[in-house]
Amino acid sequence: MAMTLDRLTVTLIALTTGVWAMVVFVAWAVVSIPSTAVEGASEQRCDPRRPDEEQCPDGHWCVHGECTPHEEPPVAQRGEQCRDCPCDVGLQCGADLRCRPRGEPEAPAPTCGSPAVEAAVSRLTQACLQRRTSVQDQVEGGGGCSADEWRALLADDEEMNALLAAFPDRLTVYFPSGEPRARQPWPDPAARAHLVGELARHAKALRDAKMLFVIGRSSPDGNPTDDHALALRRINAVERLIDQALGRDKPSERGQGPMLIGWGAPSERPVALEAFVRNYAGAQPPIAATRADSERLAAAFAAVRAGEPVPARRTLERDVNRVVLVIPVPCTGAKDPGR
């Protein structure tokens, strides 16, 4: 009889344990489902055509259709590159785009007569020549570098970007969101006349350059492939506008001018506002489709330089990534890669 009771007790304990295990499992499932839904809901969808502040929480912006944390650029230390990031406290970004203590004397911004520029361009030319891989290039062994090799350097070489940012005649041409669209004309006649007129003010620098870098950017509004295609369309549009500003009727007439090197920067690495104003905006007035937009951008950049609050900051951050940088390089090193 005692053995029967023991077996009954064991059976009841086993059943009770099973029931409690089932209760715990159901409770876990009930709790975990809402948390998963909340986690998925945190990936908020957004429309890049609308202002970020209207649809994304603070500290986020719309990247490829989702509200994404807007990470602050890393802080550069003494001697480090400050092309795309701010310097640490007590340091400032020098003309060579490296951080140095405030008040420390620095070399003047490089010019064509500067031995430092000649040495830098010579180093870049040698690096470019090392990329020459075609059989014809290897047989001929000439001193010139092709546009493809210069594009590779733009993508990979930090020194190349630092050098280009130092030239004072660099220009910035700004685009509306999504423009130009595929297989659709842009700009309209009024905007075209304005843009051509603004570029014509810089005709001498554009015409006398040994090389002309045309770097297109797009903000992360679509998928990376579409963004890159948009950056390339912007490059083509600016090249055609430059042709008109220089009195060329068609691209085939570029043969007597500088080598054109067009490169589309990836949208996954947008330029931060302060870094853009410091390193890319340059001393020349911004060029946009309308005079009002040009004046708005100029006023906003002046506020950034003065450390003042900027209205519609996140909209401006997108504006500076919807841009084509035009960089006339008026000098070369010992070898002439631009001819």
CATH code, 206:
3.30.1330.60
> Does 335 map to a domain?
no
Backbone angles phi and psi of 331, in degrees to 5? -145, 160
In whole angstroms, give the CA distance from residue 322 to residue 271: 10
Q: Tokens for 253?
A: 């007439």
Contacts of 113-118 with C-beta under 8 Å, sequence gap 24+, read 117/163, 117/166, 117/331, 118/331, 118/333, 118/334
Q: What angle do CA 203, 208, 214 make, to 5 degrees?
A: 70
Would you put residue 141 in left (φ > 0), alpha (ψ -120 to 50) or beta?
left
CA-closest candidate to residue 50, choices 40, 65, 69:
65
| Residue 119 located in a structural domain | no
Q: E strands, 105-243, where?
A: 171-174, 211-216
> Which tokens go with 240?
């055609």
- Is 272 part of a structural domain of the chain? yes
**Could you tell me the residue range of the domain that residue 298 belongs to?**
167-329
Would 101 be classed as within a structural domain? no
User: Number of folded domains in the chain?
Assistant: 1
Please tell me the predicted confidence (pLDDT) of residue 142: 40
Structure tokens given for 70 = 């807007």
In a domain, residue 93? The reply is no
98 is written with which tokens? 């490296």
The answer for residues whose C-beta is within 8 angstroms of residue 87's C-beta and 6 or more apart is 75, 76, 77, 93, 99
pLDDT at 14: 65
- What backbone phi and psi angles, to 5 degrees, belong to 113? -85, 0
**How far is the C-alpha of 306 from the C-alpha of 23, rounded, in Å?**
63
- The pLDDT, as a whole number, for residue 230 is 92
Is residue 63 within 8 Å of residue 52, measured between CB atoms? no
Note whether residue 87 is domain-resident. no
CA angle (167 as vertex; 162, 172 as ends), nearest 5: 95
pTM score of the predicted model? 0.67
- Whether 15 is covered by a domain: the verdict is no
Domain for residue 245, yes or no?
yes
Burial category of 256 from C-beta neighbours within 10 Å (exposed 0-12, middle 13-18, buried 19 and up): exposed
Per-residue pLDDT of the chain (339 residues; tens, 9 = 90+): 444 556 666 666 666 666 666 656 655 554 454 443 334 445 688 887 777 778 888 878 787 778 888 766 678 888 776 766 778 888 887 766 678 888 777 655 445 666 555 655 666 666 666 765 544 444 344 445 677 777 776 776 666 666 677 677 889 999 998 899 988 888 999 999 999 999 999 999 999 888 888 999 988 877 888 898 999 999 999 999 999 999 887 766 666 678 888 888 888 778 888 888 887 887 889 999 999 999 999 999 999 988 898 888 888 988 999 999 998 887 765 444 333
CA distance 131 to 144: 12
